[in-house]
Chains A and B, each alone.
Chain A
Amino acid sequence: MNNEDSYIPFIGLEIHIELKTKSKMFCQCSANYFAKAPNSHVCPVCLGMPGALPVPNKQAFEWTMLVGKALNCTINGTSKFDRKHYFYPDLAKGYQISQYDEPFAVNGKVRMQKAEYGIQRVHLEEDTGKLTHSGENTLIDFNRSGVPLVEIVTEPDFHNSDEVKRFLEELQVIIRYLGVSNADMEKGSMRLEPNISLKVKSQKSSFDALRMILSKAEVSKVKSDELPKYKVEIKNINSFKFVKQAIEYEIIRQAEILRKGETPKQETRGFSESKQATYSQRSKEYAHDYRYFPEPDIPPMRFSKQEIEKIAEKVPELPSQKVQRYTEQLKIKLQDALIISKSRATAEYFDAVVKLMPQNAQNVANLIIHKRIKTDVPPEEFAKTARELSTPILTDMTILSEKIIQVIQSNPKVVEDYKSGKHNAIMYLVGLLMREMKGKADAKTVRQELEKAIKT
């Protein structure tokens, strides 16, 4: 019991995704703040001026529900905003408009390979301003203040850093498929906060045994009882690689503390990229420290069944579904299916071409992956070029026989090499012949005929 393997990590994720709506969540300011002059996209509302009121962006509602649907959540027919209070210079109003007990979407799941990860909730809130520390001064840029932010909270269903990384990569692709965000880590439009705690392994196995005989509700009850009594959250990590490093660091750190018979502190930690280590920031707040209450400036929202169904219809075929269809129906190699489905544009282009030449799906995949034909032309043109490439070239056998004799005669050394066992030598001669035939010959036929000639 003296190594990390004695503990089972429970890892949950909070992922923030900035929506790429035209305007901000509660005002008319442009939400596209990247690389803009500081405080140039601001108004009384996102600056928290006295008397200013939030008017919600309906596009953001729809996109949040779309994310919820794509993660197999239940969309709530009623939803509301709440005020979450805390003081920080980048928070203009002294509270963030967020969602507390009635988020847009709850109880989802993402299936990946054999694992299934629970999605607790998907809610909508507003982003804060951005602080820049320079020397003794701190500068605030409110361009980001009020940009719509979707928060996705998973269950603590992950048990190692690789699983987390794979899930996040999948999630990023899903979000990009939905077209609601660029989910760009460098630009901060996707931000990650893993929370990690460890449990002694034996307890985990007893839970696994129970899982077999309990109902789902009972499992989740037992599960929360079984979960470690502390949680360490790591704030705002901006790459998958760093998430992996941070989790791995935390697992070792917490295991060391547990081994000493102590319990790690419930806290929020930061991650230093240069040290590849986490560091303590502050003790973690509990939800009740935020004095949540219903946002009185925004009436509660109701969505009819039809409205929710209409949004559900907008969820496109997702990457995992495409991979499944490609491998099962189109008989494409898994590796290729994964590459093709990674971008919605590529996958849809692929689908369009395959529709035109259904018999050659793997061939189309090869052509796209190896960039044999450019994909910036209409699918019809791509299909035409593809067909030409795959049509066998008719070889003029009379000319070929003449050329073979010429080549054998003028390269006696190479012919000797081949005969003495250097099989690769023949490729040189094939090359010469192809050039002589000015490409109007099928390489396979050329080789066959050449070998025949040399042997006789």
Chain B
Amino acid sequence: MKKCMNTELRLKQELKKLFNKQRLAVLATQKNGQPYSSLVAFAATDDLKQIIFATSRATRKYDHFSNDGRVALLIDSRTNKVADFHKAIAVTAVGTALEADQRVRQHYVKLYLNKHPHLTEFVQSPACALVQISVKTYYVVRTFQNVVELHVA
């Protein structure tokens, strides 16, 4: 049991390190059975249970998750070199996306801009929605084939 706790802590530390380092992630959404992916600037809460991104309400992705909140987000450390097969880590977060309501928006804006200060103007635009993904599961792939799942309890 102790080992499992260590594994959990070790994994969480690894994820935090990756999420702090990487700025962009690939968001996957769908509408009418048609998958769609887009690049988003993201930030994660300290407990790793929420992932935040900002998007204009006029975008296709906004339309998609407004209809079906089920999304996946790929965050990885690849550098486009052969060594990626063994060095890179790829994390898929699966969860539900929802525009953050006013009560939590300010908290998330602070968190988000702390990581992406250059997006201040974008986030403060009235057309911009701050979206929170409530993560259900992380799928963590290391050394090409090592896959571990981290389910939110």
Q: Does A pair with B? A: no
Spell out A's residues near B (CB within 8 Å).
none
